[in-house]
């Protein structure tokens, strides 16, 4: 098999792939097409990283993907450290397996640069980031602290500086886990932090593989473009890595090159897709620069992502985002973008979600069209 770096090969030119084939393939790889019996660490490992900006979101995200999932299964995985929570893709909170964190965090950190520190530039001006990191590491060695406790310790070490800015700078520089009780279902309050090397009981990778990142991304999100990989990971200039690997290349309806692992098959475009409810910020919606494989129109996307830091909870009908849902006083409200072909199926799945959310007695499901 030729590598895709041979730009004149027929293998490089690829074959066209329809939008519906792309959708069904993506759903299958996101564990949203079939009921697959996996443990929580196995599912998180397959997905590489599960969005956890909102505390309860990964619970809902795994519930919609794993048959028989319960809150206790994810809580147990966080407590036994087989799954951990920390700043990963795009600098945002994600769950990943403890084993994957060891290579994923160093790889992402190396490509992060100073991104995310601009808001604190004035507060830390004149200080060396390495000095802040060293002071934080010394304070955290062998213990878990809340973020305010870490900020207080750094404020004492660097008097006259805004302590919370110092804590954010330390979190940017260091590999930190947010251990339980942070990240537990319905748990709010101060975020806890611990050194990843302490929490995981060993060092992180000194030579993380970008090729491994590509393989894992394509296994859960492919086929995908180089721009898609960047949108998902936050890492730039990954095209040379893609071109150096033995990958299959397809083309979408616009002629864009979609990379994929050669051993993986495409899904049948005529497969039925069940109704699925996704939490806010779910990576099924965020994992591509072009979200057309799961969101049908720009107008729909504007409702789902109305601002830079807002990604609303959604639901899928026939494999595509068909509307949003939210918790209102006395109701789980489901709002469809347009008339639903099978409103009863949406209502039935919403009732399952209602039970999982453990909302107060008397809460009802309301389904309407915008």
pLDDT tens digits, residue range 133-181? 999 999 999 999 999 999 999 999 999 899 989 998 998 889 999 999 9
pLDDT of residue 172: 86
Q: Is the pLDDT confidence value at 204 over 90?
A: yes
- Residue range 42-64, pLDDT digits in tens: 999 999 999 999 999 999 999 99
Nearest-angstrom CA–CA distance, 59 and 198 = 26
Q: Is the pLDDT confidence value at 5 over 50?
A: no
pLDDT of residue 112: 65
Q: Is the pLDDT confidence value at 216 over 70?
A: yes
Nearest-angstrom CA–CA distance, 171 and 115 = 12
Dihedral (Cα; 266, 270, 272, 277), 10-degree rounding? 60
Q: Which of 39, 29, 10, 5 is nearest to 265 (CA)?
A: 29
pLDDT of residue 115: 58
Contact 105, 204 (CB under 8 A): yes
**How many residues does the structure list for the chain?**
370
Nearest-angstrom CA–CA distance, 141 and 195 = 7
Nearest-angstrom CA–CA distance, 31 and 284 = 10
Residue 4: pLDDT band (50, 70, 90) is very low
Contact 77, 41 (CB under 8 A): yes
pLDDT of residue 309: 83
Nearest-angstrom CA–CA distance, 97 and 101 = 6
Q: What is the mean pLDDT of residues 96-115?
A: 86
- Residue range 21-47, pLDDT digits in tens: 999 999 999 999 999 999 999 999 999
Longest CA span, the chain: 64
Phi, psi of 93 (to 5 degrees): -70, 130
Nearest-angstrom CA–CA distance, 163 and 192 = 16
Contact 331, 363 (CB under 8 A): yes
Q: Is the pLDDT confidence value at 9 over 70?
A: no
DSSP label at residue 58 = H
Nearest-angstrom CA–CA distance, 154 and 167 = 7
Averaged confidence pLDDT in the chain: 92
Residue 188: pLDDT band (50, 70, 90) is confident
With a CB cutoff of 8 Å and minimum separation 6, the contacts of 125 are none
Q: Which of 153, 146, 149 is nearest to 192 (CA)?
A: 146
The CB density around residue 154, as the number of other CB atoms within 10 Å, is: 22
Alpha-carbon separation of residue 234 from 92, 252, 280 (angstroms): 10, 23, 19
Q: Which residue has the higher pLDDT, 112 or 267?
A: 267
Phi, psi of 357 (to 5 degrees): -70, -15
Residue 7: pLDDT band (50, 70, 90) is very low
pLDDT of residue 3: 44
Q: Which residue has the higher pLDDT, 276 or 127?
A: 276
With a CB cutoff of 8 Å and minimum separation 6, the contacts of 141 are 195, 198
pLDDT of residue 237: 87
Q: What is the mean pLDDT of residues 203-229?
A: 96
Dihedral (Cα; 349, 289, 45, 210), 10-degree rounding? 180
The three-class DSSP label of residue 334 is strand
Cis before 223? omega within 30: yes
Q: Which of 118, 87, 122 is nearest to 105 (CA)?
A: 87
Please report, rounded to a whole number, the percentage of residues in the chain having pLDDT higher than 70: 95
pLDDT of residue 180: 96
Count helices and strands in the chain by DSSP H and E runs: 16, 14
Q: Is the pLDDT confidence value at 233 over 70?
A: yes
Tokens for 333?
């409200």
């Amino acid at each position: 098999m030729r590598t895709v770096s041979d730009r004149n090969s027929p293998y490089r030119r690829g074959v066209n792939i329809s939008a519906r084939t792309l959708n069904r393939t993506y759903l299958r790889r996101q564990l949203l097409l079939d009921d697959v019996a996996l443990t929580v660490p196995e599912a998180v490992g397959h997905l590489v990283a599960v969005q956890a900006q909102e505390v309860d979101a990964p619970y809902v995200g795994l519930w919609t993907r794993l048959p028989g999932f319960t809150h206790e299964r994810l809580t147990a995985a966080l407590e036994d450290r087989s799954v951990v929570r920390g700043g990963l893709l795009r600098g945002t909170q994600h769950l990943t397996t403890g084993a994957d964190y060891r290579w994923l965090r160093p790889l992402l950190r190396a490509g992060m640069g100073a991104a995310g520190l601009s808001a604190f530039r004035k507060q830390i001006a004149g200080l060396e980031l390495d000095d802040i990191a060293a002071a934080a590491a010394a304070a955290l060695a062998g213990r878990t602290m809340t973020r305010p406790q870490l900020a207080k310790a750094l404020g004492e070490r660097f008097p006259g500086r805004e302590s919370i800015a110092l804590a954010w700078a330390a979190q940017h520089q260091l590999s930190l886990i947010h251990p339980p009780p942070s990240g537990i279902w319905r748990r709010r309050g101060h975020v806890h932090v611990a050194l990843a090397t302490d929490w995981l009981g060993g060092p992180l990778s000194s030579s993380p593989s970008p090729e491994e990142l590509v393989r894992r991304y394509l296994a859960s999100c492919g086929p995908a473009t180089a721009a898609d990989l960047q949108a998902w990971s936050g890492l730039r200039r990954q095209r040379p890595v893609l071109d150096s690997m033995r990958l299959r290349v397809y083309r979408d309806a616009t002629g864009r090159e979609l990379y994929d692992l050669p051993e993986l098959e495409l899904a049948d475009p005529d497969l039925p897709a069940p109704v699925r409810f996704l939490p806010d910020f779910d990576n099924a919606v965020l994992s591509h620069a072009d979200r057309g494989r799961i969101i049908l129109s720009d107008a729909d996307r504007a409702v789902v992502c109305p601002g830079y830091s807002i990604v609303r909870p959604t639901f899928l009908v026939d494999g595509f985002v068909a509307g949003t849902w939210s918790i209102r006083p006395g109701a789980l409200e489901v709002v469809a973008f347009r008339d639903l072909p099978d409103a009863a199926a949406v209502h039935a799945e919403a009732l399952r979600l209602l039970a999982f959310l453990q909302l107060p007695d008397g809460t009802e499901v309301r389904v309407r069209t915008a």
